């Protein structure tokens, strides 16, 4: 799928892996402050906005601590274009959540066409092809039948099951000596298939810029954690370069910046 940026978009922000949850109040506050002050014309949240999401009927729960975030996104959605992609933690986000936030539902992957450039956006988990166990679960949990059965359970049961899955996932990570990063061959194949030069993704929590070859680049977004011992947050910002008077019809090179995070400058 392609998403063509309107001509008035000049600044785009990309974030991912907020993992918002009750026990991380500073991270929530930091993200709300960011939403309220971002100068971007469009914000792209590339997955794992929440630590987990158990269905859009969760919105109605009076004790839902995510309400502050939903209200902040709704405010942002009134003044800029807000796009939300599902991640491996919050893949059960549905159309009602998008409506409440005033957000656009972003498929994974999607090719963004901006200022003459083609940029592939993805959460990134599907490109960690070496993690066979996770890829099997990913395929299962994205199936319509699995999701129908899960969402048919009572809310409390869903929350308990999701917490159990998260605990098992963390235990598997601690027991493993292997870090499953995005496979560069898979990333390059995706870019070539989409006829794009740049990939932007999250998921791995290892912010960096990788040159896949002379023509293709992979940007990795940082995760957010303002409650831990090493606070971190970050935004990858893309600006359209000003047109020159001599070649007004030809866009200049795009400018990538890392902002709002300690030590994250490009």
DSSP states of the chain = -EEEPPTT--EEEEE----B-TT-HHHHHHHHHHHHH---SEEEEES-SBS----GGGGG-TT-TTHHHHHHHHHHHHHSEEEEE--SSSTT--HHHHHHHT-EEE-SSEEEEETTEEEEE--SGGG-TT-HHHHHHHHHHTSHHHHHHHHTS-HHHHHHHHHHHHHHHHHHHHH-----PPPHHHHHHHHHHTT-SEEEE-SSS--EEEE-SSS-EEEEPPP-BSSSSS-B--EEEEEPPPPPSTTTTS----EEEEESSTT---
Give domain limits for the chain: 2-129+178-259
pLDDT by residue for the chain (266 residues), tens only, comes to 899 999 999 999 999 999 999 889 999 999 999 999 999 999 999 999 999 999 999 998 876 668 889 999 999 999 999 999 999 999 999 999 999 999 999 999 999 999 999 999 999 999 999 999 999 999 999 999 999 999 999 999 999 999 998 888 777 766 666 778 999 999 999 999 999 999 999 999 999 999 999 999 999 999 999 999 999 999 999 999 754 334 444 455 789 999 965 444 44
Specify the CATH class of 2-129+178-259 in words. Answer: alpha beta
pTM value is 0.92
């Amino acid at each position: 799928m392609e998403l063509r940026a309107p001509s008035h978009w000049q600044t785009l922000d990309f974030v991912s892996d907020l993992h918002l949850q009750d026990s991380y109040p500073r991270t929530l506050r930091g993200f709300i402050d960011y939403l309220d002050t971002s100068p971007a014309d469009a914000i792209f949240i590339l997955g794992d906005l929440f630590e987990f999401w158990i269905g859009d009927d969760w919105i109605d729960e009076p004790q839902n601590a995510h309400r502050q975030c939903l209200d902040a996104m709704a405010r942002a959605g009134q003044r800029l274009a807000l796009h939300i992609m599902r991640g491996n933690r919050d893949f059960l986000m549905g159309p009602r959540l998008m409506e409440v936030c005033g957000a656009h539902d972003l498929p994974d992957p999607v090719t963004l066409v901006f200022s003459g450039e083609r940029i592939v956006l993805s959460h990134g988990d599907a490109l960690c092809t070496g993690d066979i166990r996770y890829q099997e679960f990913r395929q299962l949990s994205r199936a319509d039948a699995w999701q129908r059965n899960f969402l048919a359970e009572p809310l409390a049961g869903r929350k308990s099951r999701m917490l159990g899955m998260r605990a098992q996932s963390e235990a598997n990570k601690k027991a493993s000596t292997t870090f499953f990063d995005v496979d560069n061959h898979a990333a390059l194949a995706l870019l070539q298939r989409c006829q794009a030069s740049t990939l932007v993704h999250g998921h791995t929590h290892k912010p960096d810029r990788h040159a896949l070859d002379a023509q293709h680049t992979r940007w990795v977004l940082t995760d957010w954690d303002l409650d831990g011992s090493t606070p971190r947050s970050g935004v990858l910002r893309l600006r359209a370069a000003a047109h020159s008077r001599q070649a007004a019809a030809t866009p200049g090179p795009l400018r990538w910046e890392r902002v709002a995070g300690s030590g994250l400058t490009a």
